[in-house]
Structure formats: C-alpha cells, structure tokens
C-alpha cells in the first residue's frame, strides 16, 4: 500500500534574519569567544589587530577577512594550527602551516584587502584554510 504525504509550510513564521552572518570588527585587539563561532571577523585596524583564539573545541569555526592591511596577528592558546592558505602567487614555504603545529598566524605588508583566513576546530586542533593575494602575505610561527 502506498502512502502520499503533503508538506505544509508556514512561511509567515520563518525568521530570515536568523540566517544572516554576524560581522565583527576586530579593532586593535579581540579575544575571540566560542560565541563568535560562525562569524566573520574583519581585521580592520590601521595599526593591525591582536587576536586571541579560544581553546579549540569541536565545531568552532571562524573566518577572518583583511579589511585594512595592517600587520594582524592571530594567536592560538597552544601549538594547534595546521593547514595552508592558497596564494595567488604560489611559493611553498612561509604560507604553509604544515609539519609541526603552529601557534601564530600573522599577516604582512603583502596582505591585501579581502584576504581570508578560515579556522575550523576539532577537540584539539584548528585546521587552517583561506585565500591570499600575494606570496608571503601570511606567515606562521
């Protein structure tokens, strides 16, 4: 015996603002919190931004976008960052956070507005991805 089902949607009760991405300005310093997960954080300070990440926790994810080309620094609480960003001008080396896990991500004078750095966490690590316009625009330590 075959059954058919009909889906009924009450679109009047849908709140579309729930799907908007939250944008945060880093300013000169920002201690990122778990509640920032899923947000876009603009690295906007002329003199650069000092960002502190929370301890990696499964599912946390942050996107950082350069909106001012100051020297921005993102620091994890331990050596737990692994991954790489894609460069428009490729060169292996400083733009890779492979091998031993890293603690610090820094943008340089070569960064460009729109460069992105993404971090996704497991219970013990941050996995890095992103896109930058220029070689050596991002360095790791």
Q: For residues 121 and 81, what is the distance between their CA atoms, to the nearest angstrom?
A: 9
Q: What CATH number corresponds to the domain at position 136? A: 2.60.120
Coil, helix or strand at residue 11: helix
**Domain total for the chain?**
1
Identify the domain containing residue 71 by its residue range. Answer: 22-140
The per-residue pLDDT for 19 is 67
The answer to whether residue 7 sits within a structural domain is no
Q: Is 95 helix (H, G, I), strand (E, B) or coil?
A: coil
- Per DSSP (E only), the strands in 29-109 are 29-31, 40-43, 50-52, 61-66, 73-75, 81-84, 86-87, 96-102, 104-107
* Half-sphere exposure of residue 118: CA atoms within 13 angstroms, side-chain side: 9
> Is residue 9 assigned to a domain?
no
% of the chain exceeding 70 in pLDDT: 79
pTM: 0.81
Assess if residue 58 is contained within a domain: yes
Looking at the predicted structure, is the pLDDT value of residue 55 above 70?
A: yes
pLDDT digits (tens, 9 = 90+) for 10-46: 555 555 555 678 999 999 999 999 999 999 999 999 9
Q: What mean pLDDT, rounded, does the chain reach?
A: 84
């Amino acid at each position: 015996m075959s059954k058919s089902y009909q889906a009924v949607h009450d679109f009047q009760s849908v709140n579309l603002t729930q799907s908007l991405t939250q944008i945060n300005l880093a300013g000169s310093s920002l201690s990122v919190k778990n509640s920032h997960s899923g947000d876009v954080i603009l690295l906007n300070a002329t003199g650069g931004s000092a960002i502190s990440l929370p301890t990696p926790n499964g599912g946390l994810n942050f996107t950082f976008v350069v909106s001012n080309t100051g020297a921005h620094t993102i620091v994890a609480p331990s050596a737990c960052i692994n991954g790489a960003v894609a460069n428009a001008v490729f060169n292996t080396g400083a733009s890779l956070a492979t091998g031993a896990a890293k603690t610090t991500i820094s943008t340089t004078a070569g960064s460009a507005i729109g460069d992105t750095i993404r971090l996704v966490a497991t219970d013990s690590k941050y996995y890095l991805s992103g896109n930058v316009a220029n070689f050596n625009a991002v360095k790791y330590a």
